[in-house]
Amino acid sequence: MKILFLGDLFGRAGRSAAIDALPSIKRRLKPDCVIVNAENAAGGFGVTSQIAEAVFEAGADVITLGNHAFDNREIIPHLAQENRIVRPANLPKGAPGRGSTLIETKSGHRVLVINALGRVFMNPVDDPFSTIEAELEACPIGTACDAAVVDFHAEATSEKCAMGHWCDGRATLVVGTHTHIPTADAQVLPRGTAYQTDAGMCGDFDSVIGVEKSEPLRRFITGMSSGRFEPAVGEATVCGVFVESDDATGLATRIAPLRIKGRLIQTWPDTEAAPVSLEA
């Protein structure tokens, strides 16, 4: 099957670019499942039910969140009703919403989507490794689901790399979000899990990780703030990853980055490239 994952939608620029681009991306790549991280979609902090519905209408099958999951209180009742929105699974018990979901796509594929927060340089949460392990063991690829995708919302590249190897052979894709900068390490790990440390954001890269430059610069240079962070509003780049997997095993055969529009060097996945062989 084919899976498209888009990185953090940041503010109006990022969400508009992703929503506008999704129909044409889907026509070109023909993904069976589209997953979008939207935890910065509402002014850079959280998501609203209205924005979530717009993302679904554009073609997303699942929305993942992160450390800003509850910044917009309006979304909290919606999380209990909407099984297509996933907040981090390793939040304390009693947190609203769900940390994973199993959906059936229009093509008939069963896709498990898990969201989790890292702990390095982040606010305290439960252990993401044991949390994700429990989710994967409860719904193994190749039997209970056709694909399993882990959105690991974390700060440290080392923690993200460790998560990729921890899940190798048990997940179809482990992809990092949160740091907003696309990394150049897209690969299929030795046991068949597609991995990229960070998918990058859908946002204006003439910015400081999506934020209009003046306030972050002031804080770095003077150590003082003069107001809140505001999303940059220039033309956004749409960033993500595209994965193909073996329907029989659920393991990945190909991963490629996607970057279109905006300021970054453009790249489309090469769907004609030879798949990765997992044979020794």
Strand arrangement, sheet containing 194-196: 100-104, 110-117, 147-153, 173-177, 194-196, 187-188
pLDDT at position 277? 60
Mean pLDDT, the chain, rounded, equals: 95
Q: What is the largest CA-CA distance in the chain?
A: 58
Q: Could you read off the pLDDT of 100-110 as tens digits, one per residue?
A: 999 999 999 99
H/E stretch holding 255 reads strand 252-260
CA distance linking residue 11 with residue 198, whole number of Å:
18
Mean pLDDT of 150-167: 98
pLDDT (tens digit, 9 = 90+) per residue, 120-152?
999 999 999 999 999 999 999 999 999 999 999
Query: At a CB cut-off of 8 Å and minimum separation 6, what does 104 contact?
Result: 110, 111
Q: Give per-residue pLDDT as tens, 183-197.
A: 999 999 999 999 999
Contact 157, 196 (CB under 8 A): no
pTM, to two decimals: 0.95
Residue 68 a catalytic site member: yes
Confidence of residue 113 (pLDDT cuts 50, 70, 90): very high
Mean pLDDT computed over 12-22 = 97
The pLDDT tens digits for 50-89 are 999 999 999 999 999 999 999 999 999 999 899 999 999 9
Cα gap 62→66, rounded to integer Å: 14
* Cβ(15)–Cβ(210) below 8 Å: no
Q: How far is CA 52 from CA 48, 97, 115, 143, 222, in A?
A: 6, 14, 16, 30, 37
Q: What percent of the chain has pLDDT over 90?
A: 94
- Indicate whether 274 pLDDT > 70: no
Going by pLDDT thresholds of 50, 70 and 90, the confidence category of residue 157 is very high
In 3-state terms, the chain is what percent helix, strand and coil (to 5)? 25, 25, 50
Predicted local distance difference test score (pLDDT) of residue 10? 97
Q: What pLDDT does residue 280 have? A: 40
pLDDT of 275 reads 72
Domains along the chain with CATH numbers: 2-260 (3.60.21.10)
Residue 279 has pLDDT above 80, yes or no: no
